[in-house]
Amino acid sequence: MAQMEQDEAAEKPSKKPLIILVLAIILSLSAGAGGMFYYMKMQAEKAVEIACAEPPPPVITTVYNELSKPLVVNFPQNSSVRLVKITLSIAADDAATIAVLKKNEPMMMSNLLMLISGQNTDGLKTHEGKVALRNAIFDDVTAMLEKMSPESEIKEVYFTSFIMQ
């Protein structure tokens, strides 16, 4: 009878390898879940940093348009200046504004010639007079652009040549 009990005990498989296998699976799943939790936490922190960071300042490009011909104005004989020749360059933020300026250049040049011919020649000799003329040209071109293309605007007007005789 003792031998039968030993045979039955010998025939019974041991549960020790099965327990080790289940524990190994549970341990590996726990390690994977912990690693995934850590990874997701790091990604969330990066997303918060990106969301809180200030956006970079927008890149502003300036496009220049030089008038195709210089503006030449004759003044009366009794004035101190007989002739003024001005070459202008206009700065804008985008090429669409420059396209509007080029399309309407004849009208713009006519308006500018009338503006310059109405100036006091003694005032044009001073720095303040030239600045005032540049501001008047800026205002005139801006007014023209508002009529032709309300969404367009210029940044600045530059004298690239200013000759008085």
- What would the pLDDT profile of 19-57 be if each residue is shown by its tens digit? 888 889 998 988 888 889 899 888 988 888 887 777 777
Give mean pLDDT, residues 15-21: 85
Q: Residue 11 above 70 pLDDT?
A: no
Reading the block at residue 128, the tokens are: 């303040």
AA identity, residue 59: V
C-alpha–C-alpha distance, residues 149 and 142, integer Å: 10
What global pTM score does this model have?
Answer: 0.64
Return the HEC string of 15-75.
Answer: CHHHHHHHHHHHHHHHHHHHHHHHHHHHHHHHHHHHHHCCCCCCCCCCEEEECCCCEEEEC
**pLDDT score at 84:** 93
Q: What is the maximum span of the chain, computed from C-alpha positions, in angstroms?
A: 146
Kindly report the CATH number that applies to the domain delimited by 63-164.
3.30.479
Taking only the tens place, the pLDDT of each residue in 103-114 is 999 999 999 999
Return the bridge partners of 88, or none.
159
Give residue limits of the domains in the chain: 14-52, 63-164
